Structure 1
Amino acid sequence: MAKKKALNTYQRLELQYPDYLTAVEALGTAVRHAGPLEEKVVQLIQLGAAAAIRSEGAVHSHARRALEAGATKEQIHHTLIALTSTIGFPTVVAAISWADDVMDK
């Protein structure tokens, strides 16, 4: 008998609060389409913000989304190392490690 894979937090929230998640996703779509920036640039900006707040899950998400939008591994790494003087070397190294979790799959 196949073992069921456990739901991640996002999936559980989606099941428990579908209207809430629909609204959050609609906000994200509106933000991405509010101006002239390309999707790849928006995702790299959000990746930098995720690193700044030390959110491993958000770094995973935005690294994956940046790749899907056409960013290269080098662009993702450059986005993160560009933050060194702002968020500090240890935080940048952690964020690179989290981004690599996604890129090395």
Structure 2
Amino acid sequence: MPLRFQEFTKTYSKVAAAYEQLAGECHRLGPLNERERALVKLGIAAGSNMEGSVHSQVRKGLDIGMQHDEIRHAIILSMTAIGFPKMMAALTWAEDILTDPSK
């Protein structure tokens, strides 16, 4: 877990708890299973061009047992929707975590 996130949850514990509750409700709302939700959120993170979000979603994917090639494939699929440069950026960010999960 990134240090900045740990500091945030310690300093703003009520906000962090409310955020986690909201996320949980969103996850329980529909028919997608955990793996499908993780892939969707990884695609959204890549499309949003947000490095921290891609890092987070890759970590979560690994935590639920996703394979490295599945994560890479999901990001490569984004190429025709978000463009080659953004896909390459997301793939680079994913590799940050895939090559060193302690980041």
Same fold (TM over 0.5): yes
In 2, the alpha carbon distance for the partners of 1:10 and 1:68 equals 17
Q: Is 1:53 matched with 2:51?
A: no
The percent identity for this pair of structures is 34
Q: What letter matches 2:90 in structure 1?
A: A
Q: Is 1:89 matched with 2:76?
A: no
- Which of 1 and 2 has greater Rg? 1
Structure with more helix by fraction: 2
**For each residue in 1:38-63, what CA deviation from the matched residue of structure 2 results, as whole angstroms up to 9, or x when unmatched?**
21111111111111111111101101
1:3 alignment counterpart: none
In 2, the alpha carbon distance for the partners of 1:102 and 1:86 equals 23
2:63 alignment counterpart: 68
Alignment partner of 1:33: what SS?
A: helix
Matched positions, count: 99
RMSD in angstroms over aligned alpha carbons? 1.3
Question: Structure 1: 5+ residue runs without aligned partners?
Answer: 1-6
Normalised by the length of structure 2, the TM-score is 0.88
1:34 alignment counterpart: 29
Question: Structure 2: 5+ residue runs without aligned partners?
Answer: none
* Displacement after TM superposition at 1:36 (Å): 2.0
* Displacement after TM superposition at 1:17 (Å): 1.1
